[in-house]
């Protein structure tokens, strides 16, 4: 496992870092701050947690993501994982 940038709707919201055989999430955007420090079995489980969190908290800071969610993705060469 390696460190990865985690994006939601094309906007970086945190990073994942290896934590033993798990993945730890470090949030860098307020809308996902409740997930900061959480550990997950893998990137897919982290992706689902972010997606569910953002869905539940629809009005909490998501305006910044509305435009990005409908925009084209960035370069595939970037080591970023889109959780949207």
pLDDT tens for 6-28 read 999 889 999 999 999 999 999 99
What mean pLDDT is predicted for residues 23-40? Answer: 96
pLDDT tens for 48-82 read 999 999 989 874 555 656 555 555 555 555 556 56
Cα gap 23→5, rounded to integer Å: 12
Judge whether 35 and 24 are in contact, CB under 8 Å: no
Which pLDDT score, from 0 to 100, does residue 9 have? 87
Q: What is the DSSP string of the chain?
A: ---EEEEETTEEEEEEEEETTEEEEEE-SGGGGGGTT-EESSHHHHHHHHHHHHHHTTTSSTHHHHHHHTSPP--TTS-EEE--
Which pLDDT score, from 0 to 100, does residue 25 have? 98
């Amino acid at each position: 496992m390696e460190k990865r940038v985690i994006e939601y709707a094309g906007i970086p919201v945190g990073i994942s870092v290896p934590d033993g055989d798990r993945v730890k999430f470090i949030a860098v955007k307020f809308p996902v701050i409740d997930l900061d420090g959480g550990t997950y079995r893998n990137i897919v489980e982290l992706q689902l947690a972010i997606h569910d969190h953002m869905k539940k908290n629809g009005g909490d800071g998501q305006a910044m993501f509305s435009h990005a969610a409908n925009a084209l993705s960035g370069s595939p060469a970037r080591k970023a994982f889109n959780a949207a």
